[in-house]
Structure 1
């Protein structure tokens, strides 16, 4: 991760920290009382407040590398939707025990405080050295897209570089044609090392299509994992027959095999009135993008900062651009939400059945 990315992560975390700490502490107080005192205090209000806050957290402006860093800091399990699942798993369980819940919340709070201290120290060090982190972001009206070449699509030599460049030209060409644009409308604005990440800038229309495809790829992966989880659950309960497993495996294969046709169906509105070259180019683009994802490549977005409540400017072009950017941001958030759901499913269930009343 580059200096600027880590610096911006520290700044972002500092904007979340006070509210995060306050709401965790608000829930911790009645739980601690209930763990040591015979008279029990209600915790629903504080619990709902924390869970609602965690579910409302957005990670639009964070890259996948920054999200990975939150994991390395041990704090990703306690923020966002995953944090909400953790809190409910600690409190809303069929075997709820205040003392155990307090212990788990204390661990979460300690991790949050430690992450805050480390990130704040880094930000202070950069500021103290009077360094100005270079922020690689798209120009106004464009959206930052980050493509990660890792795992089986890692770029280790010039031959890999050549092949990856050709594949991504085809991917960009098909998507650009689907929204009446040219491949060269997508700009290369930077790169970072480690696993090589190419940083590009795309128009709102292009980014919206790419985000929709990324969301569907994530949905397909989630569906496939869901089938595998069901097979394993049935196996553990000794209820899985050979016929049942064969049927579930068929469903799993169909979901993967039908991914391209499903995506093209979702984007059929973009193909209306376009000649035969566009559907062919789009299909090739989607195939290569799916292959890229299956081999471990990543696509990430930095959503534009917008005041969506403002009235139109009165300038038709500006208002049209704002509408397009809002639509792209919505598509990015849908993709990121699906990505969080996949992460929760992949890491396994964290909570048991909820109780209607908590004492």
Structure 2
């Protein structure tokens, strides 16, 4: 995690959470419910819930990246601030919930927010006092471009120069394919920043590229269900390792892998066909490069790599729709239940 992310989180918290006075809203709701326990309490509860939901709905969660979200979870505020907050409060205010429990929970949440405020707010002044702007401010995104964050983790991690060479080559293939399809150059995949831990690379991409990647992932996710039987066949083949001879085991596994690879290639071809038919590809001569790019981005996903778009431009409203669509497409691909269940670590143990 970079110092700039801690600083931008502190500023986000101050702008969104502190300025909303959510802690006071929750405390006032608890007090209002307490003094009206014998006087039309259900109507009062409904009004208080609406007030709370209205307050947390103002938070711009698209400005948060994974590091920011980890910070929120570390301080125990995810159920109050993040996407599940509305559902959490709705459940808390359900008719079956004891009113005293509601009062206690609201009071607890209010106290937690006050504690967080006392710890986080000073960072907005102390960090600028200690560090220069180079360490505090996020890298600027060129006009007309959007931020895409790549996280190299799990089997897609970069732990040494061999890994670096492999994934650099893969992402060059991805950049080349998607750029050529839009009549652009691979250099349009600009590196904004690099972080360590799980290696994280922030890229600035054009709207056309973001849209094409989104359409590609969405289309592939829809067709990926057709790989389920072949994943099952491959997994079953690997279970034979200590049951049959080495020669037969290697033959069966090789055949299963070959069938899976062939099917994946066919699906990628269908994805490219769909993109062409829908007028998504500007350069018709880029089919081979785009096909290779799609295979690499799918492999990155299969190996555990992560892609996420982050709101970080001067046009948040325009960007929100694009960002949410791409993030949902990647999650949809990653969480295809039939495939995800077959891609567990135990599969590797049988190798």
On whether the aligned pair clears a TM of 0.5, the verdict is yes
Aligned residue in 1 for 2:141: 138
Q: Are 1:191 and 2:199 an aligned pair?
A: no
Contact persistence 1:144–1:303 (CA under 8 A): yes
RMSD across aligned C-alpha pairs, in angstroms?
3.8
Aligned residue in 2 for 1:208: 211
Partner Cα distance (1:65, 1:259) in 2: 34
5+ long unaligned stretches in structure 2: 225-262, 338-351
Aligned residue in 2 for 1:27: 29
Contact persistence 1:147–1:299 (CA under 8 A): yes
Partner Cα distance (2:60, 2:267) in 1: 27
Q: Are 1:181 and 2:188 an aligned pair?
A: no
Aligned residue in 1 for 2:115: 114
Partner Cα distance (2:223, 2:27) in 1: 38
Partner Cα distance (1:279, 1:216) in 2: 16
5+ long unaligned stretches in structure 1: 222-255, 310-325, 347-359
After alignment, is 258-267 or 292-301 more displaced? 258-267
Deviation at 1:68? 1.8
After TM superposition, the score normalised by the length of structure 2 is 0.70
After alignment, is 3-12 or 281-290 more displaced? 281-290
Equivalent pairs, count: 294
Aligned residue in 2 for 1:147: 150
Contact persistence 2:146–2:313 (CA under 8 A): no
Deviations 1:290-314 (CA, angstroms, capped at 9, x unpaired): 23223222222232444589xxxxx
Deviations 1:92-137 (CA, angstroms, capped at 9, x unpaired): 25x2221222233233333333333322233332133363314213
Partner Cα distance (2:270, 2:28) in 1: 46
- Which among 62, 79, 82 is matched to residue 81 of structure 2? 79
Deviations 1:38-63 (CA, angstroms, capped at 9, x unpaired): 22432223312322443453322222
Contact persistence 2:147–2:310 (CA under 8 A): yes
Deviations 1:168-187 (CA, angstroms, capped at 9, x unpaired): 11122222223221111111
Partner Cα distance (1:105, 1:341) in 2: 35
Pairs within 5 Å for 1:208-287: 208-212=211-215, 264=272, 267-268=275-276, 269-271=278-280, 274-275=283-284, 277-287=285-295
Partner Cα distance (2:128, 2:181) in 1: 45
Partner Cα distance (2:308, 2:291) in 1: 21
- For the residue of structure 2 that corresponds to 1:194, the secondary structure is coil
Distance 1:117 1:201, change over 3 A: same
Q: Are 1:9 and 2:9 an aligned pair?
A: yes
